[in-house]
A = this chain, B = another copy of it.
């Protein structure tokens, strides 16, 4: 039984990690992988049985996800996965990104250190390692995750934690992934990331600003086809 194994692990390794975190990650992964489709209902007891835990941590994890906009809750009806992005939501988010991310890139150049640049290079390099023969789902998923990590690394260097957490809470990469799922993944982003890195190496704030603006704009235009 799952509970036995769970209890066994907890007793042996005595790690102080909470069950809620694990549940959160599990649901997040199911949303990301479209195992839970956009708009689909999420039944608490079903999840509790499948994950082998009680309903309380499920409820708490869903509450966090609701606050992040990934699931919706209707009182006395239940939870459901957030619907697919509308075109307006998409455009609003990209307008927001264009407002914030180029400036963050500019700040990142100003605060750049050799170590930070090196870390950024490795982060970008991780996206190149395709490991192609995996299935399509995990391949896209890995791409989205690496892209998110790259952008987050830039924001971390920029130093403004408010901006960083704000963008992190938007879960851009998850929504993009849900849009991209039935489309073909493009490798153009890799090239644009390379342009970004070049700007960071040059140490010119305005160059980074422009490179990021172009990158976000092109990302927007690429994904816009999903709404036709």
A interface list, Cβ under 8 A from B: 16-18, 56, 59-60, 63-64, 66-69, 75-76, 88-89, 92-93, 95-96, 99-100, 103, 159-163, 165-166, 169-170
Across the interface, which residues of B come within 8 angstroms of A160, CB to CB? Answer: 92, 95-96
Among candidates B56, B67, B95, residue contacting A64 with C-beta atoms closer than 8 Å: B67
A-B contacts, 12 of them at CB < 8 A, read: A16-B76, A56-B56, A56-B59, A59-B60, A63-B63, A64-B67, A67-B67, A92-B161, A92-B163, A95-B163, A96-B166, A166-B170
* Contact of B16 with A92 in the complex, beta carbons under 8 Å: no
Once the chains are docked, how many angstroms separate the CA of A169 from the CA of B69?
12
A167 nearest in chain B by CB position: B166
* Contact of A89 with B169 in the complex, beta carbons under 8 Å: no
Across the interface, which residues of B come within 8 angstroms of A56, CB to CB? Answer: 56, 59
* Contact of A96 with B63 in the complex, beta carbons under 8 Å: no
- 19 additional A-B pairs beyond A18-B75, A95-B162, beta carbons within 8 Å, are A56-B56, A56-B59, A59-B60, A60-B60, A60-B63, A63-B63, A63-B64, A64-B66, A69-B165, A89-B161, A89-B162, A92-B162, A92-B163, A93-B162, A96-B100, A96-B163, A99-B100, A100-B100, A166-B169
| CB of A161 to closest CB in B, whole Å | 6
Once the chains are docked, how many angstroms separate the CA of A163 from the CA of B75?
26
